[in-house]
Amino acid sequence: MTRAPTAADAAIAVVMTVDNATVRAQVPARYLLCDFLREQAGARGVHVACGHGVCGACTVVVDAVPVRACLMLAVQADGCVVQTIASLPALEGAAPGDSGLTRLQRAFRDHHALQCGYCTPGMLVSTASFLAANPGPSRGQILDHLNGHLCRCSGYANIIAAIESVRP
Amino acid sequence: MTASRKFGQPTRRREDAPLLTGRADFVADLVRPGMAAMRVVRASVAHARLRGIDFSAVANDPACLGFLSAHELPAGTGALPAADLVADSKPAHHGVLAREVVRYVGEPVAVVLAVDAYAAEDLAERVAIDYEPLPVVMDVHSGIKPGSALLYPQFGSNIVHQTTQLVGDPDGAFAAADIIVDETFSFQRVAANSMEMRGAIATLDAASGRYLVHSSTQIPQILRKELARITGIAPERLRVIAPQVGGGFGAKEAVYAEEILVLLALQRFGRATYWLEDRQESFIGSCHGREQSVRLRAAVTAAGIVTAVEVECLSDIGAAYQFLGNTPGAAIASVRGPYRIPNFRSRARSVVTNKTPLNVYRGAGYPQAIAAMERVMDLAATATGLDAAQIRRRNLLPPEAFPVERGIAYPGCGPVVFDSGNFPALLDSTLDAVDYPRFALRRARTAPEIALGLGLSFVVEMTGGGGGEPARLRLRPDGRLQLLSGIVPIGQGSETTLAQILADHLGVAIESIDVLSGDTDDSPDSPGTFASRGATMGGNAACRAADALIHRACRLAAELRGARAADIAWQDGVLVDRTRPGESLTLAALMQQAQAAGVVPAGGLDAAACYNDDAVSWSSACHAAVVEVDRGTGVVRVVDYAVTHDCGRIANPLLVDGQVMGGAVQGLGQCLFEEIRYDPAGLPLSKGYMDYVLPSAATVPRFTLRHIQTPSPLNPLGMKGAGEAGCSGAVAAIANAIANALGPQTTVPNGSGPFTPQLLHRILQGAPREEASA
């Protein structure tokens, strides 16, 4: 859907780089970053599951920092570089393998770390950032990191195992 | 079956790549520019007469594309469906929109359509509803008292269904009992909370004049029929597609008003319409689960033999029903679990209250019944001086007892007959997995500020059924096989599992098989995904469709070769001519030849079949939980969790383990964190994940999963369902472990708590039980 600004909220020009593409739009001040990414930038891997910053499904990286796209306004990201699941190879610093999947994606697949898969892209984005900042994390650090994400299907054990498997 | 077996292999999921890359299309991904955004105006009071609905503040807003209340719906619009599984029930059904009375906060009263979701939300807030408040019923115990306020005065009672069952002579057994254990349990209201919320989109295909509804549902074929019934649109003009579904757990196994309303709005206003639930709305607008009060009495001999059980279930089903009888029915059917208990009496009543309707959530009534029975087993053990494993072993049905007629019925599913199992082996395996003999030593070595406890539970649960399961199999002109299944993937990996089953059945490469589902134009008329039926029902149906297709392929091959049909056979994945040994024909080669000869339809060969044996099989499991209770803070940690599971022959152990662990953690959530709360006036207090705590990664125990594969004799694949046994036994095992940790001198509330730090802290401080559970 395209956000058509209404008379009630004046449009503000926003430009940002989303997964290496420049995206410009006129948006109302209250327009959420998650909606901007999904509707204006076509980044449909940004999934909204709670809308109040608890579940982590909409996590994206804004200027190298993971954020919840449901808690940020599009105008706040004006001029920023935003990376979603499509930028996972860049976030992991490695090209995907023959399967088209990154190391982390393959680890999730191989450990059956996803069932319905709705929470998965946000979790991968945030985990790639986490591992870039904390190579070789302890199990406790992995659990702390994952506490920012809700998954209702897997029971988490396979997710933990998948992340442990990509430690150097 | 050939040497390269797929059945039983931990095959990686074919579903994963689109999900991992964020490219899968969930319903929200199918919203397109120009569609109208629908927002539901929901009742803000729990019980009231509707005196008026005023749209004047929105009607002339340029962003408003339309609005509907019950008064604007076409005459003849049907009510929401209700699958009534019991006789003599009262019809507590709701309309698509409330007309005269609202009965819960969240009940749809009107919808507004706008140019976008932001505007729709603004407009919805400006619809003025005039309520005349009515007294509320917020719990079953007061709701069944004479003189209680009534949700449906025409019924004369808030009890909308009642069933009783009797086996043997419970009165005689109680009269002869050495010990009687009599306990009442309370199970709180929770919600399934699939990470993807619900959503629906209605569009019109101008060329064909047909309507297409995309919905995040477990039951697209049922939804299509109900859309036709409710709107009066001819079924052939309706197509429903369940796109990628982000979890269901039973909450998407109902037909909801919003799925009807997007279509009615499209019809009325001529614009494609979408509705996407938000999380706050989900807590009041999507079905809840579990809430039940259970009183269980057990007659026990001095030797620890349970000779009779009497159970009374009061289910709080909220303001209306969709699957009446299912939750208490599951509880009654499973309450005696794996134990002999020859004498039995039950009474189940469903009571309406001013809360969101309650429906099936993973396990329906099993977790409640199992938690009650397993707690009573522990109390009987204490009373008879046995330990928890001993008393269970003394009461288990022996392996040679199968099939076991239980003498009772499951509403809608016929008599309860356990088809297969080996309960003592489950117990032995699970005790070994938690090193049960050395648990006392482990406890003695635990730091004094930690109370360590171990809890056991047994699950016996019905799986499959739901009616016959059809399947279609196509042999495409390029030689690929396309299975059209009615089993909707909701995260369980059914595409992979069904492909494994089919590859083995035919002896062909798994890579040559595509599995499609979810589109009512293409997939067969299946009941859908629920009751742990997907792999067993869908798998057996796929095999039957394969047999039918091979029959057609053999005839085609005979025709092409001028052979007698009887001479063509299917052998190890290829067609052979018995009169010409050494020659064989692959399906791809058959299609090439048939195309060259011009004797095959453009779409390829197609065969359909139905797995009609509505044979429910009974899965079983033995769980053990080890918990640490911090005596200072009341925080409970589940440290070890062992399950030995018997779902018959396992097609894919990787996926079955995923089901068991995911289910067990849902049970852990119910037992430790989750609760939908209301204030006394019926206002919901749980509106999001700040008020309603879901399990997180740090709460996950060390799992030890084991399997015993006792094949079901009831279906050719020997399978039993695997979707719910992980969830169904976890509340019981963890609650028992907490009670075990605190010891018999401490009274722990019966039921599923939730055992929050606040609750346990008060118990540990020695507060009286009433205060502790308040």
**What does the alpha-carbon distance between residue B502 and residue A111 come to, in Å, rounded to a whole number?**
24
DSSP letters spanning B689-726: TTTSPPP-GGGPPEEEEEE-----TTSTT-B---SSHH
Does residue B247 contact residue B291 with C-beta atoms inside 8 Å? Answer: no
**What does the alpha-carbon distance between residue A163 and residue A167 come to, in Å, rounded to a whole number?**
7
User: A105 to chain B, minimum CA–CA distance in Å?
Assistant: 6
**What does the alpha-carbon distance between residue B339 and residue B326 come to, in Å, rounded to a whole number?**
22
Local structure of B148: helix, strand or coil: coil
* Interface membership of B679 toward A (CB under 8 Å): no
Residue A152 pLDDT > 70 = yes
Yes or no, beta carbons of A30 and B278 under 8 Å apart: no
DSSP letters spanning B669-690: HHHHT----B-TTS-B---STT
DSSP letters spanning B524-581: -----S-TT-IIIIIHHHHHHHHHHHHHHHHHHHHHHHT--GGGEEEETTEEEETTST
User: A79 to chain B, minimum CA–CA distance in Å?
Assistant: 24
**Which residues of chain A lie closer than 8 angstroms to B216, CB-CB?**
none
* pLDDT tens readout for residues B485-530: 999 999 999 999 999 999 999 999 999 999 999 999 999 998 888 8
**What does the alpha-carbon distance between residue B64 and residue B41 come to, in Å, rounded to a whole number?**
14
* pLDDT tens readout for residues B545-569: 999 999 999 999 999 989 998 999 9
* Interface membership of A37 toward B (CB under 8 Å): no
* pLDDT tens readout for residues B438-494: 999 999 999 999 999 999 999 999 998 888 899 999 999 999 999 999 999 999 999
Q: Please report how the helices B725-742 and B653-672 are oriented relative to each other, as an axis angle in degrees rounded to 10.
A: 50
**What does the alpha-carbon distance between residue B766 and residue B308 come to, in Å, rounded to a whole number?**
34
Spell out the residues 6+ positions from residue B216 whose beta carbon is closer than 8 angstroms to its own: B26, B27, B196, B197, B198, B199, B200, B242, B243, B245, B246, B252
Q: Which of B63, B658, B694 sits opposite A115 (nearest CB)?
A: B658
User: What pLDDT score does A168 carry?
Assistant: 66
Residue B337 pLDDT > 50 = yes
**Which residues of chain A lie closer than 8 angstroms to B279, CB-CB?**
49-52
Q: Which of B13, B664, B694 sits opposite A109 (nearest CB)?
A: B13
How many CB atoms within 10 Å of residue A87? Answer: 20
Q: Which two tokens stand for residue B573?
A: 């994945």
Average pLDDT over chain B reads: 94
Instruction: Report residue B186's pLDDT band, with 50, 70 and 90 as the boundaries.
Output: very high
User: A149 to chain B, minimum CA–CA distance in Å?
Assistant: 7
What is the per-residue burial (b if ≥16 Cβ within 10 Å, else e) of B396-413?
A: bbeeeebebebbbebbbb
Yes or no, beta carbons of B12 and A143 under 8 Å apart: no
DSSP letters spanning B402-469: -SEEEEEEETTTEEEEE----HHHHHHHHHHHTTGGGHHHHHHTS-TTEEEEEEEEEEEEEES-SS-E
**What does the alpha-carbon distance between residue B605 and residue B556 come to, in Å, rounded to a whole number?**
9
**What does the alpha-carbon distance between residue B560 and residue B583 come to, in Å, rounded to a whole number?**
15
DSSP letters spanning A30-92: T-BHHHIIIIIS--TT---SSSSSSS-TTEEEETTEEEETTSSBGGGGTT-EEE-GGGHHHHH
| Interface A-B: count of C-beta contacts within 8 A | 197
Spell out the residues 6+ positions from residue B545 whose beta carbon is closer than 8 angstroms to its own: B471, B472, B473, B483, B607, B608, B609
User: B136 to chain A, minimum CA–CA distance in Å?
Assistant: 30
**Of B271, B276, B199, B205, nearest in space to B238 by CA:** B205
**Of B642, B627, B730, B722, nearest in space to B370 by CA:** B730
Tell me: cis bond preceding A135? Omega within 30 of 0 counts.
no
User: What pLDDT score does B106 carry?
Assistant: 98
Q: Which of A35, A55, A112 sits opposite B655 (nearest CB)?
A: A112
Q: Residue B438, class by beta-carbon neighbours within 10 Å (0-12 exposed, 13-18 middle, 19+ buried)? A: exposed
Q: Which of A3, A30, A118 sits opposite B247 (nearest CB)?
A: A118
* Interface membership of A44 toward B (CB under 8 Å): yes
| Average pLDDT of the residues in B247-263 | 96
B648 secondary structure, DSSP code: B
* Interface membership of B492 toward A (CB under 8 Å): yes
Q: Identify the sign of the CA torsion B600, B606, B607, B608.
A: negative
**Which residues of chain B lie closer than 8 angstroms to A43, CB-CB?**
22
Q: Which two tokens stand for residue B406?
A: 């239980």
* pLDDT tens readout for residues A88-115: 999 999 999 888 999 999 999 999 999 9
**Chain A nearest-CA residue for B688:** A50
User: B496 to chain A, minimum CA–CA distance in Å?
Assistant: 12
**What does the alpha-carbon distance between residue B315 and residue B331 come to, in Å, rounded to a whole number?**
10
B399, HSE (Cβ side, Cα atoms, 13 Å): 12
* Interface membership of A47 toward B (CB under 8 Å): yes
* pLDDT tens readout for residues A39-74: 999 999 999 999 999 999 999 999 999 999 999 999
Instruction: Report residue B65's pLDDT band, with 50, 70 and 90 as the boundaries.
Output: very high
Residue A1 pLDDT > 70 = no
* Interface membership of A116 toward B (CB under 8 Å): yes
Q: Which two tokens stand for residue B265?
A: 């709005």
Yes or no, beta carbons of A52 and B688 under 8 Å apart: yes
**Looking at chain A from residue 144 to 163, which residues have their Cβ under 8 Å from any Cβ of chain B?**
144, 146-147, 149-160
**Of B253, B194, B193, nearest in space to B691 by CA:** B193
**Chain B nearest-CA residue for A124:** B20
**Which residues of chain A lie closer than 8 angstroms to B691, CB-CB?**
none
Query: Choosing among A108, A141, A152, which should be mutated to test the B contact, i.e. which has the most B CBs within 10 A?
Result: A152
Instruction: Report residue B589's pLDDT band, with 50, 70 and 90 as the boundaries.
Output: very high
Express as a percent the part of chain A with pLDDT over 90: 90
Does residue B485 contact residue B496 with C-beta atoms inside 8 Å? Answer: no
User: What pLDDT score does A9 carry?
Assistant: 61
Residue B231 pLDDT > 60 = yes
* Interface membership of A54 toward B (CB under 8 Å): yes
User: For B735, phi and psi rounded to 5 degrees?
Assistant: -65, -40
**What does the alpha-carbon distance between residue B315 and residue B327 come to, in Å, rounded to a whole number?**
8
Which residues, listed in sequence order, are joined to residue B730 by a DSSP beta bridge? none
User: What pLDDT score does B189 carry?
Assistant: 97
**Chain B nearest-CA residue for A28:** B118
Instruction: Report residue A10's pLDDT band, with 50, 70 and 90 as the boundaries.
Output: confident
User: What pLDDT score does B195 carry?
Assistant: 98
Query: Choosing among A1, A18, A151, which should be mutated to test the B contact, i.e. which has the most B CBs within 10 A?
Result: A1
User: What pLDDT score does B614 carry?
Assistant: 63
**Which residues of chain A lie closer than 8 angstroms to B697, CB-CB?**
142-143, 146-147, 149, 156, 159-160
Which residues, listed in sequence order, are joined to residue A11 by a DSSP beta bridge? A28
What is the per-residue burial (b if ≥16 Cβ within 10 Å, else e) of B559-578?
A: ebbebeeeebebeebbbbbe
| Average pLDDT of the residues in A10-35 | 96
**Which residues of chain B lie closer than 8 angstroms to A109, CB-CB?**
12-13, 16-17, 20
Residue B3 pLDDT > 50 = no
Strand bridging mode B584-585 / B179-187: unpaired
Number of helices (H), then strands (E), belonging to chain B: the values are 20, 32
Instruction: Report residue B63's pLDDT band, with 50, 70 and 90 as the boundaries.
Output: very high
Does residue A115 contact residue B246 with C-beta atoms inside 8 Å? Answer: no
CA distances (Å), B255 to each of A143, B81, B222, B481, in order?
Answer: 38, 7, 8, 32
- Look up the pTM and report it: 0.96
* Interface membership of B695 toward A (CB under 8 Å): yes
User: A94 to chain B, minimum CA–CA distance in Å?
Assistant: 15
**What does the alpha-carbon distance between residue B359 and residue B87 come to, in Å, rounded to a whole number?**
18
Residue B774 pLDDT > 50 = no
Spell out the residues 6+ positions from residue B764 whose beta carbon is closer than 8 angstroms to its own: B629, B631, B634, B742, B746
The region of weakest confidence among A44-53, B72-81, B87-96 is: B87-96
User: What pLDDT score does B2 carry?
Assistant: 44
Residue A2 pLDDT > 50 = no
Q: Which of A38, A124, A143 sits opposite B20 (nearest CB)?
A: A124
0.90 surpassed by complex ipTM: yes
| Average pLDDT of the residues in B181-197 | 98
Identify the H or E element spanning B58.
Answer: helix B56-59
Instruction: Report residue B383's pLDDT band, with 50, 70 and 90 as the boundaries.
Output: very high
Does residue B338 contact residue B123 with C-beta atoms inside 8 Å? Answer: no
**Looking at chain A from residue 68 to 87, which residues have their Cβ under 8 Å from any Cβ of chain B?**
84-86
**Which residues of chain A lie closer than 8 angstroms to B700, CB-CB?**
155-157, 160
**Which residues of chain A lie closer than 8 angstroms to B490, CB-CB?**
116
**Chain B nearest-CA residue for A113:** B658
Does residue B350 contact residue B321 with C-beta atoms inside 8 Å? Answer: yes
User: What pLDDT score does B504 carry?
Assistant: 95
**Which residues of chain A lie closer than 8 angstroms to B696, CB-CB?**
146-147, 149-150, 156
Instruction: Report residue B4's pLDDT band, with 50, 70 and 90 as the boundaries.
Output: low
User: What pLDDT score does A32 carry?
Assistant: 98
Yes or no, beta carbons of B697 and A84 under 8 Å apart: no
Q: Which two tokens stand for residue B340?
A: 């002999």
User: A118 to chain B, minimum CA–CA distance in Å?
Assistant: 5
User: B325 to chain A, minimum CA–CA distance in Å?
Assistant: 26
Yes or no, beta carbons of B195 and A152 under 8 Å apart: yes
Yes or no, beta carbons of B700 and A155 under 8 Å apart: yes
| Average pLDDT of the residues in B13-29 | 97
* pLDDT tens readout for residues B688-731: 999 999 999 999 999 999 999 999 999 999 999 999 989 999 99
Yes or no, beta carbons of A159 and B29 under 8 Å apart: no
**What does the alpha-carbon distance between residue B394 and residue B340 come to, in Å, rounded to a whole number?**
9
Does residue A51 contact residue B197 with C-beta atoms inside 8 Å? Answer: no
* Interface membership of B54 toward A (CB under 8 Å): no
Yes or no, beta carbons of A112 and B118 under 8 Å apart: no
